[in-house]
Amino acid sequence: MTWTSGPGTFESKMLPHLNAAYTLARWLTGNVQDAEDAVQDAYLRAFRFFGGYRGGDSRAWLLQIVRNTCYTRLRSKPSHLSNTTFDEERHIEECGLETPEMIAIKSADIQLVRAAIQELPLKYREVLILREVEAMSYAEISKVLNQPLGNIRTILFRARQQLKRDLIKRYETFQHQADGR
């Protein structure tokens, strides 16, 4: 096993997936520091066991390690499961046609969706992030989560339904507060 660049090396197979690993860890752990620590631990584990990697989808292999690492860390810190909010820096592309009001509305919508996703049960949140944010196929998600394909489809369906219900509820609450002013 070698670290340096070249086909079949750890660097060439695993480093391209660093952003995906961090994104998954960030959503699972709920905060930046824990996500960074989890990704670092996961990469160390992946490097240590890279000799046993048999080819195939390196992203799925790595994200499975990241997921397992996050779950191991979460078991030792149960308070982080639901009490943290997702506060990733928001970057809105400004174009000449957007007014400050349009930017504010877009930002509020993004915050609403992020808060709703963060409050989903971890089981739903991870599948939703892998599919919608990381654009993984059902088969890849099945490998990462070590779940049958049918289970992935069911979990994703339920996650989307719960997210939809939560967003409708949040929107109605938001509208009610806006109308009451």
Whether the per-residue pLDDT at 98 is higher than 70: the answer is: no
Q: Among the listed ranges 16-25, 91-100, 120-129, which one has the minimum average pLDDT value?
A: 91-100
User: Stretch 116-127: mean pLDDT, rounded?
Assistant: 92
Q: Which amino acid is at 136?
A: M
The per-residue pLDDT for range 73-93, each reduced to its tens digit, is 888 875 544 444 444 443 334
Mean local confidence (pLDDT), 94-115: 66
- Residue-level pLDDT at 95: 39
pLDDT of residue 97: 53
Looking at residue 156, its pLDDT comes to 95
Enumerate long-range contacts of 61-65, CB under 8 Å, 24 or more apart. 61/143, 62/14, 62/17, 62/20, 62/21, 63/17, 63/20, 63/21, 63/24, 63/130, 63/134, 63/136, 63/144, 64/143, 64/144, 64/145, 64/146
Q: Which two tokens stand for residue 47?
A: 């490097």
Give the pLDDT band of residue 131 (cuts 50, 70, 90): very high
Q: How confident is the model at residue 158 (pLDDT cuts 50, 70, 90)?
A: very high
Residue labelled with tokens 């480093």: 15
- Set out the domains of the chain in order of their start, with CATH numbers: 1-80 (1.10.1740.10), 96-181 (1.10.10.10)
- Token duo for residue 43: 């990469």
